[in-house]
Amino acid sequence: MKHEVKKAEGNVSTVMQFVLLGFSDLSNLQGFLSGVFSIIYIIVIIGNSLIIILTRLDPALQKPMYFFLANFSLLEISYVTVTLPRMLVNLWTQDRSISLPECATQMCFFLMLGNTECFLLVVMAYDRYVAICNPLHYPLVMNQKMCVQLAVGAWIIDILVQIGQTAKVFSLHFCNCNQINHFFCDIPPIIKLACGDTSVHELSVYAVTMLFAAVPFMLILASYSKIISAILKLPTASGQAKAFSTCSSHLLVVVLFFGSATITYLRPKSYHSAGTDKLLSLFYTMLTPMFNPMIYSLRNKDVIAALRKLFLKK
């Protein structure tokens, strides 16, 4: 394995490539981890692809809620594909090196897709807010044009910011170590390798996290506070139960994703530990995308009915 580090002035080095340590400390479990992560990737691809197919084929799912769900499933496939295949190759070949451009590209796409997920969850919360709090205006407000605009906005809103964020991180000077104690190129473990004072870069990370994670999370909370208030005013218990069931799946995904991601990026550098960061990252990079299809299908009667029709036809 090559560890390319080009010497520069003083104690500063120009890193030509990094080494993703991943789970190399678990040397006896490399085969087991490879199998587990391969199964997770297959489940993510099949589960989310199935939701996309169902929302395209079944007339009962031709609604804004399922249009956004299809976008969310496509996002989850893309999000996992940025990190998991590379990690599987590292486990299979035991070659953990990654060039600086590859590392920067992986980080940039990971950040863009992660923030897209934040905004798409906001859009889905807004959809539920309009459906429950303003049901008579729902078809007018959430028309096809509006749905497309909201989805496209969620996908592209953060592209330039994340390109700039990635360029800023990789403009740092790195010390003699080029080993990233993580399974993909992420901001906290890379900043750890930088020489000198990185407080300005850390503040930049906090600012971007607040803008693209904390603000969306607050918007989701605001939407759900109004949703819950409207549900509690419904006259019948069955109506309340039905309304809660349409929101509970989305709310569960929000808690899983934002909880683990926010802890990862808002902690100070001194509080970051490699083991905790890797564990938290597993939640929002693999486990949440794997469970999303199950959460949305098992708790949604329309999706279950569409699944039955699909397999009965087969």
User: Residue ranges per domain, the chain?
Assistant: 26-312
Backbone angles phi, psi at 126, to 5 degrees: -65, -40
Tell me what pLDDT residue 35 has: 93
Residue 77: exposed, middle, or buried by beta-carbon count in 10 A (0-12, 13-18, 19+)?
Answer: middle
Backbone angles phi, psi at 13, to 5 degrees: -125, 150
Per residue of the chain (314 residues), give pLDDT as tens. Answer: 444 444 444 444 466 788 998 888 777 888 898 999 999 999 999 999 999 999 998 888 899 999 999 999 999 999 999 999 999 998 888 888 999 899 999 999 999 999 999 999 999 999 999 988 888 999 999 999 999 999 999 999 989 999 999 998 888 888 768 888 888 998 888 888 888 778 888 888 888 888 888 889 899 999 989 988 888 887 777 777 777 776 777 788 888 788 777 776 666 655 556 667 777 788 788 888 888 888 877 767 888 888 888 777 65
Query: In b/e form, how buried is each residue of 80-103, taking b as 16+ CB within 10 angstroms?
Result: bbbbbebbbebbeeeebbbebeeb
Tell me what pLDDT residue 64 has: 93
Tell me what pLDDT residue 270 has: 58
Q: What is the pTM of this model?
A: 0.86
Tell me what pLDDT residue 230 has: 86
Tell me what pLDDT residue 284 has: 80
Ramachandran region, residue 180 (left: φ > 0; alpha: ψ -120 to 50; beta: rest): beta
Tell me what pLDDT residue 111 has: 92
Helix axis angle for 301-313 and 288-298, nearest 10°, is: 90
Contact status, residue 54 vs residue 310, Cβ threshold 8 Å: yes
Tell me what pLDDT residue 154 has: 93
User: Which candidate, 51, 66, 7, 34, places its Cα nearest to that of 297?
Assistant: 51
C-alpha pair distances (Å), 180 with each of 22, 194, 229: 8, 11, 47
Tell me what pLDDT residue 269 has: 57
Backbone CA torsion sign across 9, 15, 16, 21: positive
Task: Please give the CATH superfamily to which domain 26-312 belongs.
Answer: Rhodopsin 7-helix transmembrane proteins (1.20.1070.10)
Tell me what pLDDT residue 40 has: 93
